[in-house]
Amino acid sequence: MAGKELSPHEKLALVKDQLQEVLHEDILENVILKEQRPLVIYWGTATTGRPHCGYFVPMMKIAHFLRAGCRVKILLADIHGFLDNLKAPIELVKFRAEYYKYIIQSLLKAVGVSLEKLEFVLGSSYQLSSDYTMDVFRLSSVVTEHDAKKAGAEVVKQVENAPLSGLIYPLMQALDEQHLGVDAQFGGVDQRKIFALAQETLPKIGYKERAHLMNAMVPGLAGGKMSASDPDSKIDILDTADAVRKKLRKAFAAAKEVEGNGIISFVEYVLLPISALKHSEGQGTFECKRREGEGEPLVYHDIKTLKEDYLADKLTPQLLKAGATEALVDLLAPIQAEFQASPEWQDIERKAYPPAEPAKKKKQPKDKGSRYPGANVTTNLDGSIEGRGKEQVEVGHTAEEAMSNLEINGQAP
């Protein structure tokens, strides 16, 4: 697929390839087939936690868009990161946005696509303008609290007694389509409610509807739910080859079970498409080597055959993990080499994700025992004191008596 110029119909097919859903496909057809101009698409990412290998999934679609001649704008959504329940401290957001830019450029270079038609936009570069702010106010006048909350339900962190920032988040994501000047927005299918809100409400303030392209939600590569508190649940882009091998060895992949298998999904949505982009004939290849004496390597060019072999236990979890591990290590190698060769990137990484300060030991209150004055007394709500030894701590029953008892060297305070 690499190399030859694609026809308009081939471009349209590549844009839609592997997407779970497309809203307003007619917009894509009008731009690509009738107007025959580059489709302008944006994908946004809130610059919060460290990007992990799951980012290869949207990167593969962005690679498809670029290969299809689209102009792609990547929104480094620094303000969104702050609004989403303060996931990113405002003082770190700027550094994290720069770190994301380094990572995303390197990921796309590793995939092997030209970055000529790729543009990075920092959210705060236009979202703090008076025009944008006025549009937020205008949109908030036609969107109910219920609809804003519903739109962000699968994207914005849900907490009891949520801050208003979570309601502003989906309104801004809708307005970004207008202010970035795009034909379409790309994201995961978990963004569907925000996309629907944009389609329904932007025309109410005089702006046109856009197309929306949605990736399927892909299980975590390491199996199970990815968690920030469990470092083994996700594979960082900068993890060493040894760390990748260790995590994938521990990854959950049940024999003969295809559904929910994160490693098979990674082969389907990342490894095979990357291989296809790199080969002129457009055919992807995924290889699982066997031990000496156990037969020839298992080689797959399509996910259907791979899944059939896995269900039949011809392709075992061990073989699948080994093949995916070597392919991923090869994929990450140039990214990590670029990081090691760039003092600027390393400096930004340290500033964006400073090491956590060790927790200070809490001082334990000293046990004074029960022999100090007042150890065995209790104070009632009305201020009176009861218990053994109350005479030692009680200063008086009346104000006059208390003042008299508090006299020091014959002088009342």
The whole-number pLDDT of residue 208 equals: 97
Whether 204 and 242 map to the same domain: the answer is no
Q: What angle do CA 186, 191, 193 make, to 5 degrees?
A: 125
Amino acid at 253: A
Task: Answer for the pair 96, 49: CB distance below 8 angstroms, yes or no.
Answer: no
Q: Give the DSSP letter string of 290-337.
A: --TTS-SPEEESSHHHHHHHHHTTSS-HHHHHHHHHHHHHHHHHHHHH
Same structural domain for residues 22 and 137? yes
In a domain, residue 347? The reply is: no
Are residue 312 and residue 203 in the same domain, yes or no? no
Residue 407 in domain? no
Q: Let me know if residue 101 belongs to a domain.
A: yes
Three-class secondary structure of residue 45 per DSSP: strand
Query: Over the Cα atoms of the chain, what is R_g?
Result: 30
What is the total count of domains within the chain?
3
Q: Do residue 286 and residue 180 come from a single domain?
A: no
Considering the domain boundaries, does residue 272 fall inside one?
A: yes
Label residue 227 exposed, middle or buried (CB < 10 Å: 0-12, 13-18, 19+): exposed
Same domain? For 30 and 103 the reply is yes
C-alpha to C-alpha distance for 198 and 174, rounded to whole angstroms: 5
> Does some domain include residue 398?
no
Among 215, 245, 266, residue at a domain's last position: 215
CATH number (domain holding residue 189):
3.40.50.620
- Strand ranges in 169-323 using DSSP code E only, listed in sequence order: 184-188, 211-215, 286-288, 298-300
Whether 257 and 200 map to the same domain: the answer is no
Residue 239 belongs to a domain with what CATH number?
A: 1.10.240.10
Gap between the Cα atoms of 397 and 385, Å rounded: 10
The residues, ordered by sequence, that sit 6+ positions from 119 with a Cβ below 8 Å of its Cβ are: 71, 72, 73, 74
* One domain, residues 270 and 191: no
Which residues, listed in sequence order, are joined to residue 385 by a DSSP beta bridge?
379
Q: Do residue 33 and residue 170 come from a single domain? A: yes
User: Which residues lie closer than 8 Å to 48 by C-beta, 6 or more apart?
Assistant: 81, 84, 87, 88, 96
> Do the domain assignments include residue 119?
yes
Q: 275 and 174, same structural domain?
A: no
Domain boundary among 167, 191, 215: 215
pLDDT tens digit string along 289-298? 998 888 899 9
Domain that residue 20 falls in: 8-215
Q: Please say whether the beta carbons of 179 and 126 come within 8 A.
A: yes
Same domain for 95 and 207, yes or no, is yes
In a domain, 377, yes or no: yes
pLDDT value of position 393: 41
Please state the pTM of the whole predicted model: 0.81
The 3-class SS string of 304-317 reads HHHHHHHHCCCCCH
Q: Is residue 351 part of a domain?
A: no
The helix or strand, by DSSP H or E, that contains position 385, with its residue range, turns out to be strand 385-386
**378-379 and 385-386 as β-strands: parallel, antiparallel, unpaired?**
antiparallel
pLDDT tens-place string over residues 316-329: 999 999 999 999 99
362-392: burial string, b at 16+ Cβ within 10 Å, e else: eeeeeeeeeeeeeeebeeeeeeeeeeebbee
Pairwise CA distance, residues 182 & 150, whole Å: 25
Same domain (yes/no): 200, 56:
yes
What pLDDT was estimated at residue 383?
A: 47
Q: Mark whether 211 and 244 lie in a shared domain.
A: no
Residues of the chain with pLDDT under 50: 1, 85, 379, 381-383, 392-395, 402-403, 406, 408-413
